[in-house]
Amino acid sequence: MGLLDGKQLLVTGVLKDNSIAFHVARLAQDEGATVVLSSFGRMMKITQAIARRLPKPAPVVELDVTDTEHLDTLAARVGEHVDHLDGVLHSIGFAPQTALGGNFLQTSWEDVATAVHVSAYSLKALAVASRPLLRPGSSVVGLTFDATVAWPVYDWMGVAKAAFESTARYLARDLGPEGVRVNLVAAGPLRTTAATSIPGLDAVEATWAERAPLGWDVTDPEPTARACCALLSDWFPATTAEIVHVDGGVHAMGV
């Protein structure tokens, strides 16, 4: 019996087979779940191609989290493939290059607004759009990068992640009475497509394994995917508004 036997999940953010979302989808299928993916625009064809590398075929629905029409119709379109959702994985983030790489003091509000909209507000937008398909016991899981400190080069994405983590707490408050859990996984640096687009992030990677009591492999998304699947399962029925760190222990270490 798999950890996610009979579960129906919506997984966002599958871009390439090195993405955390891809490994969550793969592991979820291995553990018995039915998975629906989302993508948008020119990325749709890429996601559809990558989906063929999963253990089982997975449909891909279009979702731009900044598009009101996409959000308003999401439940109906996902509902063409599953009759409810036991879990939703939020693996979405974007900041313009001007908001990253040491440009903190120069970044315009317009670019900051884009980062916050796509990377933070979208958690609320996705949860509300999925709400008609959620039911007591459903789980919303998001991916973050520890926002309690200021990281080199992460700049306004770090601010957006702080807003993202706060949004998760408020969602947990408001969806809890409906029996829906909202939790986050804070992963250490991984060489995903999103991470490699951040200029200078390799400086953070370089010291991570040295600081991590358990060590850290920037090429291995499996531990993070396992944590996500565990939170999407029934094994944490009374856990919400939590951030689970999968970072080798770096978050708890001093300099």
Residues designated catalytic: 154, 161
For residue 254, what are its two tokens? 């001093």
Backbone phi, psi, residue 40, to 5°: -160, 160
**Alpha-carbon gap, residue 54 to 214, rounded angstroms:** 29
DSSP secondary structure, the chain, as one string: --TTTT-EEEE----STTSHHHHHHHHHHHTT-EEEEEE-TTHHHHHHHHHTTSSS---EEE--TT-HHHHHHHHHHHTTT-S--SEEEE------GGGSSS-TTT--HHHHHHHHIIIIIHHHHHHHHHGGG--TT-EEEEEE---SSPPTTTHHHHHHHHHHHHHHHHHHHHHGGGT-EEEEEEE-----HHHHTSTTTHHHHHHHHHH-TT---TT--HHHHHHHHHHHSTT-TT--S-EEEESTTGGG---
